[in-house]
Amino acid sequence: MKKLLMRADDLGYSEGINYGIAKSVIEGIIGNVGVMTNMPSVVQGLKLLRETDVCLGQHTNICIGKPLTNPSLIPSITNENGEFKSSREYRQAKEDFVVLDEVILEIEAQYKRFVELIGERPRYFEGHAVASANFFKGLEIVAEKYGLKYSPYPIDNPSVKINNKTVYVYMDGMKPDYVPFESLKKTVERADEVGYHMFICHPGYLDGYILKHSSLTIPRPMEVDMVCDPNTRKWLKEVGVELITYDDL
């Protein structure tokens, strides 16, 4: 059978996002959820998933909200208000302004907060939205220090190595012509029965915070509908897809 890992990012981003992710886990096919431990809504989001056995990972965030580290210790990634610099600032920068030693402090603080909130280590470990070489390096360093399952983001290659296994990663949500089920269908059609394949999505409902702070809006509730549609689960079964979690890697 083809092996497919369905991952939802951004638990804790806002209450609307939390409700959409919870529905996607409880009624849908999402088996892996990335947690933003620095965000105020994270506790509410975790309560919604308390009775599930979903695979929880750390979705390390350095571009939205306030850090867990004293901002004066991490000036390269924070602004004059003590909040993280925005994802737009990272995208528009001509060079990587992230200072490695500083970002490691925040990555480690978010890891420790994860353990405090959940009572165990994240079952996978990755980063949110920022394509910074020093951010990625910091994630690798902290993952190695604590023996965590690091899930890199593919930059120049469609596949990554996770626990020495080759995993092909697909994330189309930012494309202007995105239709969630069509994207999932293409992912499955491209998949073989030897490797592992990951479909990353961002299910959630829209609230005021998301509309103000995120450029990714309409695809989120569309993804909730897709992953919760019984026809999606039925089709995956018909075409021979096994849904897996990071524990299987």
| 68 in Cβ contact with 113 (< 8 Å) | yes
What integer pLDDT is reported at residue 154 of this predicted model? 86
Does the pLDDT of residue 234 top 90, yes or no? yes
**Element containing residue 24 per DSSP (H, E):** helix 15-26
Percent of the chain residues topping a pLDDT of 70: 100
Percent of the chain residues topping a pLDDT of 90: 94
Which of 46, 45, 50 has the alpha carbon at shortest distance from 15?
45
Query: Buried (b) or exposed (e) across 6-37, using 16+ Cβ within 10 A?
Result: bbbbbbbbbbbbbbbbbbbbeebbbbbbbbbb
Does the pLDDT of residue 54 top 90, yes or no? yes
What integer pLDDT is reported at residue 86 of this predicted model? 93
Confidence of residue 27 (pLDDT cuts 50, 70, 90): very high
What integer pLDDT is reported at residue 129 of this predicted model? 87
Confidence of residue 221 (pLDDT cuts 50, 70, 90): very high
- β-pair partners for 84: 78
Confidence of residue 156 (pLDDT cuts 50, 70, 90): confident
Confidence of residue 194 (pLDDT cuts 50, 70, 90): confident
Confidence of residue 174 (pLDDT cuts 50, 70, 90): confident
How far out from the chain centre does Cα 104 lie? 18
Does the pLDDT of residue 19 top 90, yes or no? yes
Secondary structure of residue 189 in the 3-state scheme = helix
What integer pLDDT is reported at residue 179 of this predicted model? 97
The structural domains of the chain, with segments of one domain joined by +, span 2-248
**Separation between Cα atoms, residue 163 and residue 51, nearest integer Å:** 28
Give the range among 14-28, 161-175, 234-248 with minimum mean pLDDT: 161-175
How far out from the chain centre does Cα 110 lie? 14
pLDDT digits (tens, 9 = 90+) for 76-133: 999 999 999 999 999 999 999 999 999 999 999 999 999 999 999 999 999 998 989 9
2-248, CATH topology level: TIM Barrel (3.20.20)
